[in-house]
Amino acid sequence: MHMNRLHRPALAGLGLLLSVLALGCLRPAGAEEPVRVVMPGLQAHAGVPDGAAQVLGDLVLEGLLNRHGLRALGPSDMRTLLQAEEQKRLLGCYDEACMVSLVGALGADWLVGGSVGRLEDQYVLSLVLIEAKEARVTARVSAQLDSLKAAPAQVGPLVDRLLGQRPRVRVPSALVAPPPAVERAPLELTDFRRRAEGYVASLKRGPYAPALVEERRALLEDLAITPLAPMFLRKLNTFWAIPGAVDADTRLQVRTATEEGSARDARLRLLEWFALVDQLELLKAAHARGLEMEKSGAGTRLQALPFEVKPALPEELPDSPERRAYLEARAGAVQAVERALQGLEAGNPLAFAQEWFQPGDMSSSGPKATFEELRKHRQNGFSLRLCPLFTVSTDDLRQAVERFRAKGEVELCVLRTRGEFASQQTLELAQKSTQWRIRAW
């Protein structure tokens, strides 16, 4: 895997200083408080699955502790040490000035921060080392991950590069506490398969309900406490062995929805499936890493989920004057297209042509040719209707808002369906006087 070069300013004496940090943890009782390193967590940018930043942050903490012997405090440790008001003010901040304040509030001297983002088909993990007293960045490193599966093998070496030294510490197996007792036993394979099939069937048929999120949590928690890798993988593969792809079936439901409610319901179920797929990948990597740590004496296997399970809600464009202006314009454009479709249903080419920017245009893409083409579709059993707004992706909606702002044009789509076949046709509309008219179909 390709790793970016370490961007390192002059670090004279950094290795010695970090050695002091490591030795500080071994000071006898009554000595000066040892130097601490804090790690408030990683910032997750758009495109990163839920829970990925938390798992990667745990890997960084593991590298600081187990590879270098540093006394590193994670988010849960900081919540214990900070007062309630300080938590509200400092936790969840990722800019360097805020993080320096966080270090000062905890009485630590060093901070490790960073972020994880996505560029096309790769994840980019970036780490930064900040010296609190001087409020300056001492080192920055980054790595490109082809998939999240590669993270356990790559994060440790990335921490080494951040600190500018080789691994120094390995926790003796005799000092590792035994795993806590599991309160409940994992399901038998047959019971797990039956439950997974019920969950997938609910995703396919709908309607969406919060109970789907809780069922996802229960299935993932059962996987997490399944101790042996062969059984874990057999349970994991249950989801891919269920006949019929949720992805394809639910995407079709989104595309063929005839009103906003059904479109939103199908999209929520599709996002729930995507959330499951992403978290299955995260859990697979965390499960394998836990078993490996247990074998090496550096930790224990999974006893709980390493990420949060929450509803997968669609991304929505923030409210803005541009968005409101576009939606108002779109409502007027929708009325023009609906009148044109009414003219088509009535077999009235003149009523259809009146909704065009140039009703007399006789070109191949003009109203007359389009009317004849659509009339043949209707005779062949196809239904035609406007696509609900919720079938449009957030990215497409963002582009539509920008197009309207820049050019004053509105794009709509008409859904053409027959049985399980569905296709969309794009319409371009522009204003003529105060009315919206079809420019191209």
CA dihedral 246, 249, 254, 259 (to 10 degrees): -120
Confidence of residue 81 (pLDDT cuts 50, 70, 90): low
Question: For the residues 329-338, what does the mean pLDDT come to?
Answer: 95
Note the pLDDT of residue 151: 85
How does pLDDT run across 392-421, given as a tens digit for each residue? 777 888 899 999 999 999 999 888 888 778
Domain residue ranges of the chain, discontinuous segments joined by +: 14-170, 189-296, 321-440
Report whether 169 contacts 68 (CB < 8 A): yes
Sheet holding 383-386, edge to edge: 383-386, 410-418, 421-432, 435-440
pLDDT band at 212 (very low <50, low <70, confident <90, very high): very high
Give the count of beta carbons closer than 10 Å to the beta carbon of residue 137: 16
Query: Residue 78's pLDDT is what?
Result: 62
- Comparing CA positions, the residue from 291, 16, 28, 9 lying closest to residue 168 is 16
Kindly tell me if the per-residue pLDDT of 238 is higher than 60. Answer: yes
Instruction: Determine contact, residues 370/441, Cβ cutoff 8 Å.
Output: yes
3-state SS class at 412: strand
Mean pLDDT, rounded, of the chain: 79
Q: Does domain 321-440 have CATH number 3.10.620?
A: no
> Is the backbone of residue 246 left (phi > 0), alpha (psi -120 to 50) or beta?
alpha
Given a cut of 50, whether residue 179 has pLDDT beyond it is: no
Nearest-angstrom CA–CA distance, 37 and 142? 19
Query: What does the pLDDT read at residue 418?
Result: 86
Among 3.30.390.50, 2.40.50.140, 2.60.40.10, 3.40.50.10070, name the CATH number for the domain at 14-170.
3.40.50.10070
Q: Out of 56-60, 144-148, 248-252, 339-343, give the one with best mean pLDDT.
A: 339-343
Residue-wise pLDDT tens digits, 84-94: 445 545 455 65
Provide the token pair at 63.
């590298």
Q: Which residue has the tokens 């005799």?
A: 174
- Please report the pLDDT score of residue 86 as a whole number: 53
pLDDT for residue 153: 85
Paired with 117 in beta bridges are: 124
Going by the DSSP 8-state scheme, the letter that residue 10 receives in this structure is: -
Residue 92 is classified by DSSP as T
Q: 328 with 429: CB under 8 angstroms? A: no
Where b means 16+ CB within 10 Å and e means fewer, 257-277 reads beeeebbbbbbbbbbbbebbe
Q: Write b or e for each residue in 49-88: b if 16 or more Cβ atoms lie within 10 A of its Cβ, otherwise e.
A: bbbbbbbbbbbbbbbbbbbbbbbbbbbebbeeebeeebee
